[in-house]
């Protein structure tokens, strides 16, 4: 199924590695963040209105879009840094997601914390994971290409640059899909919170 989705957006080979890396970073960061904050309550229990100051749909939507699309672009910046900024930013965000969920679970209980985000958070996290995947995609394609070639010298460097640039064009499609998913999640989140 993942391979068919990848082919549909023009990704051939090499897409599974950055996706698995993004998921591994998410899972590891979430776990570490959750464990480190398990049992720690926030000083002031947070609810949607106090966090956002305004529960109007458009105000919430704007806030969520700025935050999450900005984060997606930060994860995509790995295209410019050979994946380094994606690894760092996505790792830190994953720690934050785990820590905040642990704190929320301590404040209101796991079931209530999960119920408050279950309609939009999985979609939002999926979109962010795709953005991180897009940020790691070009370098993973080059590594995969280098492994198969075994070339050296100036011709190989030129070939790797061409491969990287071609993969970057493909990664932009993945980023656009990620942003579309993030926008849909933001609309859901703003609608749900404004109706509370």
Once rounded to an integer, what is the mean pLDDT over residues 129-142? 94
Please state, in angstroms and as integers, the Cα–Cα distance from residue 135 to each residue in 13, 20, 48, 56, 77, following that order. Answer: 16, 13, 30, 33, 6
Give the pLDDT confidence score for residue 54 in this predicted structure.
64
Q: What is the pLDDT of residues 31-74, one digit of tens each?
A: 888 888 877 766 655 444 445 456 799 999 999 999 999 999 99
Q: What is the pLDDT of residues 84-114, one digit of tens each?
A: 999 999 999 999 999 999 888 888 999 999 9
- What DSSP character marks residue 150? -
As a whole number of angstroms, the distance between CA 130 and CA 72 comes to: 9
At 83, list the tokens.
């994946």
pTM check: above 0.85: no
At 96, list the tokens.
């934050």
At 167, list the tokens.
């993969």
Q: What is the pLDDT of residues 145-190, one digit of tens each?
A: 876 655 554 555 678 889 999 999 999 999 999 999 999 999 999 9
Tokens 């100051």: give the residue.
Answer: 53
Please state, in angstroms and as integers, the Cα–Cα distance from residue 9 to each residue in 177, 186, 192, following that order. Answer: 9, 23, 31
Q: What are phi and psi of 103, to 5 degrees?
A: -65, -45
């Amino acid at each position: 199924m993942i391979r068919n989705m990848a082919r549909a957006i023009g990704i051939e080979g090499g897409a599974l590695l950055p996706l698995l890396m993004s998921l591994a970073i998410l899972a590891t960061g979430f776990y570490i963040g959750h464990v480190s904050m398990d049992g720690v309550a926030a000083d002031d229990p947070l609810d949607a209105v106090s966090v956002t100051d305004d529960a109007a749909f458009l105000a919430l939507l704007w806030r969520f879009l700025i935050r999450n699309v900005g984060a997606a672009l930060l994860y995509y910046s790995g295209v410019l840094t050979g994946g380094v900024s994606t690894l760092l930013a996505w790792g830190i965000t994953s720690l934050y997601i785990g820590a905040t969920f642990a704190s929320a679970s301590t404040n209101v209980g796991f079931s209530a914390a999960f119920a408050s985000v279950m309609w939009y958070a999985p979609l939002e996290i999926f979109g962010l994971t795709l953005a991180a995947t897009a940020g790691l995609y070009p370098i993973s394609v080059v590594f995969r290409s280098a492994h198969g070639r075994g070339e050296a010298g100036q011709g190989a460097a030129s070939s790797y640059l061409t491969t990287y640039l071609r993969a970057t064009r493909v990664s932009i499609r993945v980023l656009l899909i990620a942003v579309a998913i993030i926008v849909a999640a933001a609309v859901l989140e703003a609608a749900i919170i404004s109706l509370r």
